[in-house]
Structure 1
Amino acid sequence: MTDLAFENQNFLWGNEAGPVRILSEYLHPKSEFQSQGITDTIVVFGSARIPAPESPKSNPPSALDALSNYYEEATAFAKLISEWATSIKADRPGRNLNICTGGGPGIMEAGNRGAREAGAKSVALNIVLPHEQHVNPYVDPELTFEFHYFFMRKLWFMKACRGMVAFPGGFGTFDELFETLTLVQTGKKSKIPILLYGKEFWTQVINFKKLAEMRLISEEDLDLFGFADSPEEALRFFQEKIRFELTHSTGTKT
């Protein structure tokens, strides 16, 4: 055997090298975030299945077709946030605010697309899956990362996060939303503004008030998030609540 250990693919993809792969998915994004000057992000979550308005419609129209307005609104929101971030950049030397998505289609694509329309760069944290998760055409290649491990991708969603917005979505969106709420609720992540976009959707699919009435969560936990129904309302939410200077600590808390 003449291969160097770090060039031996059989070794690198074997069980013994698992820690090496995990560490690589930490160190590579860290290095690129630093070199590209990524300090703060607004994370956009939402369904990969919601189509763009220009996508071919199902015949007969499907329930997903009726949700394409969320794609348009996510695009508009990301554009507004990116324009605002550009306007305040001079007031925060050495800091910037960028949209961050999962890099795939649907709402993720809308987030990257909105940033592109504003002339801003955005971060894309893609996950390699057997279906559904291809990189969208609006990502910036130098800020696009491919992950094998969900938990390392989750770490990077939160590492520079100064606010997150969840558009309608399925299991993946719920997973990311509740993990973020749990991190903030337990103090593992400094308190950040968390926005649920589309109040009718979120209050229909999750009865937050019932959880509080049953004391499964505290009444104060209902203050961990807010709602918005327009891109402008969502922008104002973050303009009022986002804080760029947060206490540094261990774990994912920043």
Structure 2
Amino acid sequence: MNKHEQEAAYRLSALDQDFILGDSMRGARFMMEYTKAEQHLRASKILSTIVVFGSARVREDGNEWQARVYAAAREFGWLASARGGALAENDGWRTNVIATGGGPGVMEAANRGAQDAGAVTIGFNIALPFEQEPNPYITPDLCLQFHYFAMRKMHLAMRARALVVFPGGFGTLDELFELLTLNQTGKSPKMPVVLYDRAFWNKIVNFEALVEAGVIAETDLERFDFADDAEEAWESLLSQGLSTNEETESGAEIAILSGWEPSGLM
């Protein structure tokens, strides 16, 4: 063996893990995470999604409140999938597909409900030291994993046509306000947003106090609604403008030929 063949500098760049995982290649890794997920979503012809956020710590066999939240998320996943277009195929393109962060708790419940309805369902997983492993109800070809929160958030937002947020902690709050900010600043079109469990959200966040302090406009309170059961959440999405008959005839051409940006998010 030539002595140079053993040196790191001689390795092919694409096969050099030390190089690929090095600091100088962070931008390329961002690009790879975007592209790999995008390829899988396009291959499964996912035109739009309904994103469901909520705590990974909620359990079906937890206390009475947790069991109720889990059951509502599962029922909503079923309702949205059965009525929203995820079962119907127009030239193979699917609309309003349930998408979650992929983990346990509320995310598991929503993916499970979608599976109950016979629909495909997406899990955008993130590599974390605890609480994150893919739940068994995600469609295998749509069980994706990310290293970067930023790229995961981008994919959660890109195809979102609606957002339903169940009770959760830091991660849920972060994701909720991220998408509300995109909407408020015009980085994405206005989308229906529902917060499940009015009592929980009014206790956790004093939205009216933000208006009183002048840090948000009173009209910003119109960017979301509340619901206390799955049916009410679904009806709220419809009343806020969610379409269940999204035009998909040109979906393939848009996605494949023009570098599709479904929500206008750049």
TM beyond 0.5: yes
Identity of aligned residues (%): 42
1:207 & 1:39 partners in 2: Cα distance?
35
Q: What is the Cα deviation at residue 119 of structure 1?
A: 0.5
The reply to whether residue 15 of structure 1 matches residue 23 of structure 2 is: yes
2:43 & 2:185 partners in 1: Cα distance?
32
Contact 1:50 1:65 in 2 (8 A): no
Q: What is the Cα deviation at residue 65 of structure 1?
A: 5.8
The reply to whether residue 45 of structure 1 matches residue 53 of structure 2 is: yes
Root-mean-square deviation (CA), in Å? 2.2
The reply to whether residue 135 of structure 1 matches residue 142 of structure 2 is: no
Q: Where does residue 5 of structure 1 map in the other structure? A: 13
Q: Where does residue 220 of structure 1 map in the other structure? A: 219
The reply to whether residue 76 of structure 1 matches residue 75 of structure 2 is: yes
Of the structure 1 ranges 234-243 and 163-172, higher mean CA displacement relative to structure 2 is found in 234-243
SS in 2 for 1:89: coil
Contact 2:194 2:224 in 1 (8 A): yes
1:102-251 paired onto structure 2 within 5 Å: 102-240=101-239, 241-243=241-243, 244=246
Q: Where does residue 60 of structure 1 map in the other structure? A: none
Contact 1:158 1:252 in 2 (8 A): no
1:57-114 per-residue CA deviation (whole Å, 9 max, x = no partner) reads 5xxxxxx663221011000001000000248836898452200000000001011100
SS in 1 for 2:225: strand
Q: What is the Cα deviation at residue 226 of structure 1?
A: 0.3
1:249 & 1:137 partners in 2: Cα distance?
29
Taking structure 1 as reference, are residues 94 and 133 closer, same or farther at Cα in structure 2, changes over 3 Å only? closer
- Point out where structure 1 has 5 or more consecutive residues left out of the alignment: 58-63
Of the structure 1 ranges 102-111 and 233-242, higher mean CA displacement relative to structure 2 is found in 233-242
- Point out where structure 2 has 5 or more consecutive residues left out of the alignment: 1-6, 248-259
The AA in structure 1 aligned to 2:133 is H
The reply to whether residue 27 of structure 1 matches residue 35 of structure 2 is: yes
Contact 2:60 2:66 in 1 (8 A): no
SS in 2 for 1:42: strand
1:25-78 per-residue CA deviation (whole Å, 9 max, x = no partner) reads 11111111111100100000000001123xxx5xxxxxx663221011000001
Of the structure 1 ranges 86-95 and 4-13, higher mean CA displacement relative to structure 2 is found in 86-95
- Which has the greater radius of gyration? 2
Runs of 4+ in 1 over 3 A off after TM superposition: 86-95, 248-252
1:86 & 1:216 partners in 2: Cα distance?
38
Q: What is the Cα deviation at residue 210 of structure 1?
A: 1.4
Taking structure 1 as reference, are residues 167 and 219 closer, same or farther at Cα in structure 2, changes over 3 Å only? same
SS in 2 for 1:196: strand
The AA in structure 2 aligned to 1:77 is F
Q: Where does residue 100 of structure 1 map in the other structure? A: 99
2:263 & 2:91 partners in 1: Cα distance?
25
2:217 & 2:118 partners in 1: Cα distance?
42
Taking structure 1 as reference, are residues 138 and 94 closer, same or farther at Cα in structure 2, changes over 3 Å only? closer
Q: What is the Cα deviation at residue 219 of structure 1?
A: 0.5
Q: Where does residue 253 of structure 1 map in the other structure? A: 265
The AA in structure 2 aligned to 1:187 is G
2:99 & 2:223 partners in 1: Cα distance?
21
Taking structure 1 as reference, are residues 146 and 201 closer, same or farther at Cα in structure 2, changes over 3 Å only? same
TM-score of the pair, normalised by structure 1: 0.89
The AA in structure 1 aligned to 2:191 is I
TM-score of the pair, normalised by structure 2: 0.85
